[in-house]
């Protein structure tokens, strides 16, 4: 199995998702950096596309070339009936690429949150880790699978599965995100870093099997 993983150079860790793909499916993970879309391969021979999160916003004008390339990749995956898993920013770009839109959320969601799920959702209520200040509006034809009071949390369209939360997250990843500029953001939001990490230590391992189930679902999802 060959998996194309789209991420930023400074934060391209697929975490539990990548681990499950490698250990269970024997997958080779081929990286594509958002900063260098000209170097991306076409999708021939790939079995799955994974679009990771980012500290970018999908509607920033100065990122239109990179975001446009990612949107084109996602539209190609949709046309070719290839599985696509979009995570957080990746989910937002998928929404924008397939006919939805992305906007600034009234309030950010940072931390561990339960998600209200539909019967069709291939995941449970969580809690799931979130770190985003934007929210998506899914394409009209999409099936909404989960939501919170502040945002749509997941949708499916064909073989695309998009989740606003982070099933891939590990404690080490949250420690990185909560440093530097991330720490300043936590302070602005009044979130205690040590408390966030303590909750993460308690939750991360419990989310391992549910995260694997999301990967299994997108690989087994049939076209709508």
Active-site positions read: 88, 166, 168
Which residues does 96 contact at the CB level (< 8 Å), separation at least 6?
A: 58, 59, 67, 71, 102, 136
Q: How far apart are CA 146 and CA 98, in angstroms?
A: 18
C-alpha span between 130 and 111 (Å, rounded): 5
Q: Are 56 and 93 in contact (CB under 8 A)?
A: no
Tokens matching residue 86: 């979009």
Rama region for 34: left / alpha / beta (φ>0; ψ in -120 to 50; rest):
alpha
Residue 189 to residue 64: CA distance in whole angstroms: 28
3-class state of residue 19 by DSSP:
helix
Handedness of CA 102, 106, 111, 117 (dihedral sign): negative
């Amino acid at each position: 199995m060959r998996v194309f993983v789209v991420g930023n150079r400074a934060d391209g860790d697929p975490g539990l998702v990548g681990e499950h793909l490698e250990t269970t499916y024997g997958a080779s993970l081929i990286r594509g950096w958002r900063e260098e879309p000209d170097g991306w391969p076409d999708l021939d021979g790939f079995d799955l596309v994974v679009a990771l999160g980012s500290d970018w916003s999908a509607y920033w004008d100065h990122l239109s070339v990179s975001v446009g390339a990612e949107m084109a990749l996602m539209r190609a995956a949709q046309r070719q009936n290839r599985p696509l898993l979009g995570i957080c920013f990746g989910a937002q770009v998928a929404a924008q690429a397939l006919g939805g839109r992305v906007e600034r959320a009234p309030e950010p969601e940072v931390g561990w949150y339960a998600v209200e799920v539909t019967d069709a959702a291939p995941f449970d209520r969580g809690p799931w880790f979130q770190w985003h200040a934007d929210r998506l509006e899914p394409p009209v034809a999409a099936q909404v699978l989960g939501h919170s009071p502040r945002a749509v949390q997941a949708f499916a369209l064909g073989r695309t599965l998009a989740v606003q939360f982070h099933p891939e997250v590990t404690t080490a990843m949250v420690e990185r995100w909560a440093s530097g500029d991330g720490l300043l953001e936590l302070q602005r939001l009044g979130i205690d870093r040590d408390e966030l990490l303590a909750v993460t230590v308690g939750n991360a391992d419990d989310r391992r099997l549910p995260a694997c189930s999301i990967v299994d679902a997108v690989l087994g999802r049939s076209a709508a």
